Amino acid sequence: MAFMRKYLLPILGLFLAYYFYSAKEEFRPEMLQGKKVIVTGASRGIGEEMAYQLAKMGAHVVLTARSKETLQKVVSHCLELGAASAHYFAGTMEDMAFAEQFIVKAGKLMGGIDMLILNHITSTSLNIFKDDIHHVRRSMEVNFLSYVVMTVAAMPMLKQSNGSLVVVSSTAGKIATPLLASYSASKFALDGFFSSIRTEYSLTNINVSITLCVLGLINTETAMKAISGIIDKDPAPKDECALAIIKGGALRQKEVYYDKSPWIALLLGNPGRQILEFLSVYSYNMDKFVNK
Ligand SMILES: NC(=O)c1ccc[n+]([C@@H]2O[C@H](COP(=O)([O-])OP(=O)(O)OC[C@H]3O[C@@H](n4cnc5c(N)ncnc54)[C@H](OP(=O)(O)O)[C@@H]3O)[C@@H](O)[C@H]2O)c1
Ligand SMILES: *[C@@H]1O[C@H](CO)[C@@H](O)[C@H](O)[C@H]1NC(C)=O
Ligand SMILES: *[C@@H]1O[C@H](CO)[C@@H](O)[C@H](O)[C@H]1NC(C)=O
């Protein structure tokens, strides 16, 4: 009890004060005006919606996915909506050389990067896991490894612009999700990796924000088809979801929760994890790693 009173309560108090009183800036669409933004998986679904929202806000966009024809249409529509500029490079994120080159080319084209939105995933159907090692590997490569490769390629430009990295994940990257084991594993990997490097950035004064977006079920065509006859649940709208992701990135939030139910954010906020992460930082001496 004495320990509780002496350490735990003051720490909890500090933590809660920090949590609730840290100044919350308001989002304004002008924040994206003229910004240089990359969106992956932008040929359909949430990625396509994000491209349109960014276009309306007057951003420069460079998009990617595999299907050239679809990207061409999305780019034309972005220009109609008022994008400062809109381009695409088509290719597969199974190919790490493409992932890297895409970022280099997009950066050159726009003369820098302010925001990198990593959103694509390899196609996945709901199934009991038996022995499809191939799909586990493909999920890890496309949904996780290519995100790391692109982050590495973009980091010099993001550092230069004090930019933002936005990683699109899922509730399946926070809780056990039957029928989606490989997908879930790749989304958990994003949390482990990007939350860890976010802490490294903060300890070594690198001013690039990392926003992990935890999405519930969204009404994209792919998702609706995948769950049909298996999961009976109300989806949230993809346009509102796209806006929530962009807002979170622009406001440099650590995490964005977007789901039909407001309970998700509350329950997955995980104060235990946050307190432990907050405290563990004090046991590190980072002198060796700063400015290297
Ligand atoms: N929809 C949901 O219910 C939901 C829920 C939670 C999280 N999320 C997350 O939200 C993000 C977007 O989901 P979504 O529902 O919008 O997906 P989607 O509609 O299926 O779109 C996926 C995008 O990724 C691209 N893609 C697929 N395979 C690719 C590959 N090998 N290389 C490069 N690009 C590839 C697709 O274009 P091409 O086929 O032309 O390549 C498409 O543009 C994902 O990160 C997903 O995990 C979605
Ligand atoms: C990035 O942030 C640093 C420190 O706040 C500031 O000095 C610099 O001007 C900023 N650069 C840009 C491009 O905003
Ligand atoms: C980091 O960059 C953002 C965006 O440019 C800026 O608002 C903020 O002041 C910078 N923070 C630090 C500590 O330099």
Q: What is the pTM of this model?
A: 0.94
Looking at residue 14, its pLDDT comes to 64
Return the higher-pLDDT residue of 179 and 1. Answer: 179
Q: Is the CB of 112 under 6 A from ligand 1?
A: no
47-75 pLDDT per residue, tens: 999 999 999 999 999 999 999 999 999 99
| Ligand 3 atom with minimal separation from the 207 CA | 1
Beta-bridge partners for 65:
90
Average of pLDDT values for 274-283?
Answer: 94
- Domain ranges across the chain: 30-121+149-278
Q: Of 86-100, 229-243, 273-287, which range is least confident?
A: 273-287
C-beta contacts of 69-72 below 8 A and 24+ residues apart: 70/43, 70/44, 71/42, 71/43
Query: Which residues in the chain belong to E strands, given as ranges?
Result: 36-40, 60-65, 85-90, 115-118, 164-170, 209-215, 255-258
Q: Ligand 2, residues 36, 113, 207: which to mutate, most atoms within 8 A of Cβ? A: 207
Q: What is the Å distance from ligand 2's center to 208 Cα? A: 11
> In the CATH scheme, what is the code of domain 30-121+149-278?
3.40.50.720
18 pLDDT higher than 60? no
42 pLDDT higher than 90? yes
Looking at residue 15, its pLDDT comes to 60
Q: Is the CB of 160 under 6 A from ligand 3?
A: no
DSSP secondary structure of 79-138 = HHHT-SEEEEEE--TT-HHHHHHHHHHHHHHHTS-SEEEE-----------SS-HHHHHH
